[in-house]
Amino acid sequence: MPELPEVETVRRGLVDRVVGRQIARVVVRREGLRFSFPSDLKTIAGTAIVRIRRRAKYLLLDLSDGRVLLSHLGMSGRYTLFRAEEVPPPDPHVAPVDGGVPASRFGETTGFGGRHDHFELVFSDGSHAVYTDPRRFGILDLFAAEAEAAHPLLQHLGPEPFPPWDSEALGRVLSGRKVSIKSALLNQKVVVGVGNIYACEALHRAKISPRRQARTLVRKDGRPTERLTRLVDGIQEILADAIDAGGSTLNDFASVEGAAGYFSQQFAVYGRAGQPCPAAECSGTVKRIVQSNRSSFYCPRCQR
């Protein structure tokens, strides 16, 4: 599943290419993905994209008419941008789909009209943004900007894992919690967007076992321990490094330009079970365990 660095990579790519452009046409090739598409989705034609934000793992496209188009990439979603000159010419032997480019490539995995290309924005300059999602767990929604705070997908989200969020803020939430620190980091009410991969990597960098109870990282007076401070620093460093590397590509993820994310080449523990721990002066071996149906990778020797 694309995590915060991957979603931020997509956001930055979209900002560079589509902010300020007018949507001329909306192409919809199915009724929905995880949920049905909004019934008024095609009414965004004629509006312009004025800003693109990220909240947790959601993309929020602010439109010129005061509405917001929400997008979640689910397990395998991606946006691919095509310049006008890259759009294939119409196939005279294939009927257009919903006013869009004919589905002449039906059966391919991405492009125009492929069997996993479910949604498409056509801009007034002839360029296209194609949403592809083989596993169909993505989400699209459309709502008035003033309704954002009460949106059911957004209203319960915790803080972003960047300043002003710090170890003091995390300590207040973790105080007294008997759950594992790994499970706490994946709780979107505690902090958003860390995700399984980056939680494993941050815990390794902070030398904290994913099994450790969250409450043990907070002092009796509610203040964070030195370990918790190291963890927050590690989370922020790992996420920043991953964003700089364009995220991590394990299966389907790619930027809007089609580029893979390269942070996966820097993994210290994730997916490295049975391999030597890369930490200096550590002779341990990376181990895989299962916590809440998710794989955790860590070094039992240096992570306590």
Residues designated catalytic: 2-3, 57, 294
Q: Which has the closest alpha carbon to 28: 45, 16, 11?
A: 45
44-58 burial, b for 16+ CB within 10 Å, e for fewer?
Answer: beebbbeebebbbbb
Distance in angstroms (rounded) separating the CA atoms of residues 5 and 242: 6
Q: Which has the closest alpha carbon to 44: 62, 17, 19, 58?
A: 62
Q: How far is CA 281 from the centre of its chain?
A: 34
CA atoms within 13 A on the CB side of 106: 10
262-273 burial, b for 16+ CB within 10 Å, e for fewer?
Answer: ebbeebbbbebe
CA distances from 173 to 56, 168, 179, 184, 231 (A): 18, 9, 12, 9, 14
Task: Write the DSSP assignment of 192-230 as a string of letters.
Answer: SS-HHHHHHHHHHHTT--TTSBGGGGB-TTSPBPHHHHH
